[in-house]
Amino acid sequence: MSVKLDSKIPSGSVDTKWKNHKFNMKLVNPANKRKHSVIVIGTGLAGASAAASLGELGYKVKAFCVHESPRRAHSVAAQGGINAAKNYQNDGDSVYRLFYDTVKGGDFRAREANVYRLAEVSVNIIDQAVAQGVPLAREYGGLLSNRSFGGAQVSRTFYARGQTGQQLLLGAYSSMMRQVDLGTVELYTRREMLDLVVVDGKARGVIIRNLLTGEIESYTADAVVLASGGYSNVFYLSTNAMACAVTAAWKAHKKGAFFANPCYTQIHPTCIPVHGENQSKLTLMSESLRNDGRVWVSKIKGDKRHANEIPENERDYYLERVYPSFGNLAPRDVASRQAKYRVDEGHGVNGGEQAVYLDFKDSINRLGEDKIAERYGNLFQMYDKITGENPYKMPMRIYPAPHYTMGGLWVDYNLESTIPGLFVAGEANFSDHGANRLGASALMQGLADGYFVLPYTIGNYLANTNLAKVDVNNDAFKHGKNEVETELKKFLSTKGSRSAESMHKELGRIMWDNCGMGRNKEGLTSAITKIQKLREEFHNNINVPGEANGLNPELEKAGRVADFIELGELMCRDALVREESCGGHFREEHQVDGEAKRDDEKFCHVAAWEWNGSANKEQTRHTEQLTFENVKLATRSYK
């Protein structure tokens, strides 16, 4: 392990680590809590739950988001559900099985101790949500209902129709707003964090741009939590909301927070296919649909017949054929690759387009249209509205698309980054999913971090750390503010000929072609050169209209794209060095029969990258060795 990466995993057996650690951590007494301030960047599920819990404990919290309301955080879009090891179905689930499924699902590239804790606290999340009044689906008798998600053979996914994220976010948001009302949380909307301020080696504040007035503001705190979401929009086209960006995490990276496993990205198998050059957003069709939908293509290459004209014996239900034990519920990385193989071989819909079918005919015949509508009605309606096709009458067309990022800022067991006092939660950290996240586990992780982990570990940090008083006149704050203003001025004064949007699109193409579902040495090497050229062009030829002192979405976009370009290069470099295939990272040189071939001898580690002061300098790669004492390292099989 690198000297700089101490994961701080507590000793003891995996099932006792968190319990013992909670007892051993220092506490801040109630009267002292109100003397400590914590900044939370992001008010999605991870940030809102953290702000609410820290506020409830008595800390003085300042919470920031780029949206006009926390309810618009990208978490609102989550459709399918949230996992928890409640075993309500009595189908053999347990904390240990959820732990096992997650370690295996992540292709043995996550830390066992973190994953076990996640599975352990998953059960509390459901209780918390129910207590908040989140309307999770119920059976006729009143018990909470479950459905299945990929990579599991039990039903452990709790849901609220196709709007689980929205309902959970309303719960977390309400809890946070209660604290706003009580005065423990101050909420700042339409604010974008553009720098992290480090004083005496510790995170002590942030530099923020007020997106409405353009004012650059400075805020101090004793600790900072980043819960700013994932970076799938590096691909330009993704299922993420348009405002999702890496900027907060990237700025922290430049201030010393290592970025871990940037090449681990998730390409979700069931999205509405790209339909034109002018598209800027892709739409997810929830994985929950694979509970009742069957995925297939025509057995005949180049078949142009309408789906309903292709007879049963000429259909290849390839997931059921290749993975008989998991069938349509094979995990995402596996299902996405199989769709790509079918399309590459010429079996895509309508004579070879980039799409496969997701068909509900059998379930409708078995259960009736009403039951299917009850389960997925809003998703079917969304599909109909976007494509003009009725999925009750003909199969959906779907294709993989960028969706989630397992990589993120490196954190130790306490969710603390390599900068003391900077904690990272939710999709913004790299923690629990290894090289592939299982469906319905992101909501679980974000809420676990915010409700149940950070409230303990931040207290421990504050109780153990000598924190000198700082204010915004400190040199580090002045320097940070100056840096931000200089960068914004530079964007506005370049007066080149290309929009940030066009450069983002170009970056996305490079990333999708070379660092998407399949990656190889040649493609990654050429992508790095192309991205470096794009970066140069960005800084010499960007055109940002308008001014800095007011609302300027083009200026916001320019900053986000500049950061995506630097991140894109790091992702390709990380993918290039990782000479193995694991989970969503599929190096074409390393495969057996089309399946990922890991190299545990050389790569059973987390790679964490250290910024070296300039985008022109290669970053330093550090490693954290992973050990598997409970789930035996094995080749993942869903056959």
Q: Which residue out of 332, 342, 375, 535 is catalytically annotated? A: 332
298 beta partners: 315
Give residue number: closest CB to ligand FAD. 44
Residue 360 contacts residue 293 (beta carbons within 8 Å): yes
Query: Which is closer to ligand FAD, CB of 43 or CB of 114?
Result: 43
From 225, 248, 358, 511, residue interacting with ligand FAD (rule: CB under 6 A): 248
If one asks whether residue 391 binds ligand FAD (CB under 6 A), the answer comes out as no
Rounded least distance, CB 269 to ligand FAD, Å: 13
Q: Tell the smallest beta-carbon distance from residue 577 to ligand FAD (Å).
A: 26
Q: Of the candidates 73, 322, 372, 476, which one interacts with ligand FAD according to CB under 6 A?
A: 73
Say if residues 84 and 125 touch (Cβ distance below 8 Å): yes
For ligand FAD, the closer CB: 111 or 268: 268
Nearby residues of 59 by Cβ (< 8 Å), 6 or more positions away: 33, 34, 36, 37, 38, 184, 458
- Copy the structure tokens of residue 227: 């819960």
- The verdict on 151 binding ligand FAD (CB under 6 A) reads no
Contact status, residue 409 vs residue 246, Cβ threshold 8 Å:
no
Helix (H) or strand (E) holding 446: helix 442-447
Q: Count Cβ atoms below 10 Å from residue 67 Cβ, excluding itself.
A: 19
80 touches ligand FAD by CB under 6 A:
yes
Minimum Å distance from CB 228 to ligand FAD?
A: 4
252, 219, 169: which is closest to 39 by C-alpha?
219
Beta carbon nearer to ligand FAD, 10 or 80: 80
Which of these segments, 256-264, 423-431, 478-486, 499-507, binds ligand FAD (CB under 6 A)? 423-431
Among residues 298 and 405, whose Cβ is nearest to ligand FAD? 405
Candidates 106, 293, 421, 426: give the one binding ligand FAD (CB under 6 A). 426
- Is residue 122 near ligand FAD by the rule CB under 6 A? no
CB of 340 to ligand FAD, least distance (A): 20
Q: Is 105 in the site for ligand FAD (CB under 6 A)?
A: no
DSSP calls for 295-323: EEEESSTT--S-GGGS-GGGEE-HHHHH-
- Largest Cα–Cα distance of the chain, in whole Å? 74
State yes or no: residue 77 binds ligand FAD (CB under 6 A). Answer: yes
Q: Report in angstroms how near the CB of residue 232 gets to ligand FAD at its nearest.
A: 7
Single-letter amino acid code for the residue at 136: L
Beta bridge partners of 596: 591
Distance in angstroms (rounded) separating the CA atoms of residues 80 and 450: 20
Long-range contacts made by residues 478-481, C-beta under 8 angstroms, separation at least 24? 480/195, 480/196, 480/197, 480/207, 480/218, 481/195, 481/207, 481/216, 481/218
Residues 225-244 close enough to bind ligand FAD by CB under 6 A? 227-230, 239-240, 244
Q: Which 371-390 positions form the footprint of ligand FAD (CB under 6 A)?
A: none
C-beta closer to ligand FAD: residue 40 or 322? 40
- Using CA atoms, how far apart are residues 558 and 501, in angstroms rounded to an integer? 8
With respect to ligand FAD, which residue has the nearer C-beta, 74 or 590?
Answer: 74
**Structure-derived torsion over alpha carbons of residues 147, 267, 248, 446, reported in degrees to the nearest 10:** 20
The answer to whether 74 contacts ligand FAD (rule: CB under 6 A) is yes
Shortest Cβ distance from residue 431 to ligand FAD (Å)? 11
> Measured between alpha carbons, how far is 367 from 356 in angstroms, rounded to an integer?
23
Among 272, 287, 267, 270, smallest CA distance to 147 is for 287
Q: Does 85 bind ligand FAD (CB under 6 A)?
A: no
Structure tokens at 296: 């297939």
Distance CA 79, CA 335 (A): 19
* 289 vs 297, beta carbon nearer ligand FAD: 289
Query: Least distance (Å) from ligand FAD to the CB of residue 404?
Result: 6
**Which residues, at least 6 apart from 375, have a Cβ–Cβ distance to it below 8 Å?**
147, 161, 288, 291, 292
Question: Using an 8 Å Cβ cutoff, are 361 and 300 in contact?
Answer: no
Please identify, among the stretches 74-82, 323-331, 452-460, 589-597, the one whose residues bind ligand FAD according to the rule CB under 6 A: 74-82
Nearer to ligand FAD, 193 or 272 (CB): 193
Q: Choose among 561, 578, 634, 290: nearest CA to 406.
A: 578
Binding region for ligand FAD (CB under 6 A) out of 136-144, 298-306, 439-447, 486-494: 439-447
Q: Is 587 a catalytic residue?
A: no
On the CB side of 166, how many CA atoms lie within 13 Å of its CA?
A: 7
Q: How many residues bind ligand FAD (CB under 6 A)?
A: 47
Beta bridge partners of 192: 209
With contacts defined by CB under 6 A, name the span among 37-45, 94-102, 332-340, 614-622 that binds ligand FAD.
Answer: 37-45
Choose the stretch contacting ligand FAD; rule: CB under 6 A; options: 41-49, 255-263, 313-321, 623-631.
41-49
* Minimum separation from the CB atom of position 432 to ligand FAD (A): 12
Is the CB of residue 436 less than 8 Å from the CB of residue 584? Answer: yes
d(CA 16, CA 21): 8
150 binds ligand FAD (CB under 6 A): no
Which helix (H) or strand (E) is 532 found in, with range? Answer: helix 521-541
Q: Which is nearer to ligand FAD, 46 or 349 (CB)?
A: 46
Binding of residue 409 to ligand FAD (CB under 6 A) = no
The contact mask relative to ligand FAD for 282-301 (x = CB under 6 A, - = no) is --x-x---------------
Contacting residue, 56, 112, 192, 412, with ligand FAD by CB under 6 A = 192
Nearer to ligand FAD, 42 or 455 (CB): 42
Query: Please, what is the minimum distance in Å from the beta carbon of residue 402 to ligand FAD?
Result: 9
Work out which of 427, 563, 566, 569 binds ligand FAD, going by CB under 6 A: 427
Smallest CA-to-CA distance from 431 within 452, 445, 447, 451 is with 445
Strands 216-220 and 202-210: antiparallel
CA 413 to chain centre: 18
Residue (310 or 334) nearer to ligand FAD, CB: 334
Residue from 37, 53, 122, 164 in contact with ligand FAD (CB under 6 A): 164
The CA-atom distances, in angstroms, between 562 and each of 245, 365, 500 are 11, 51, 8
Applying CB under 6 A, among 17, 21, 36, 67 the residue interacting with ligand FAD is 67
* Span from 191-199, 253-261, 336-344, 377-385 in contact with ligand FAD (CB under 6 A): 191-199
Catalytic residue list: 332
Which stretches of the chain bind ligand FAD, using CB under 6 A? Answer: 41-47, 64-67, 73-75, 77-82, 164-165, 191-193, 227-230, 239-240, 244-245, 247-248, 284, 286, 403-404, 426-428, 440-443, 446
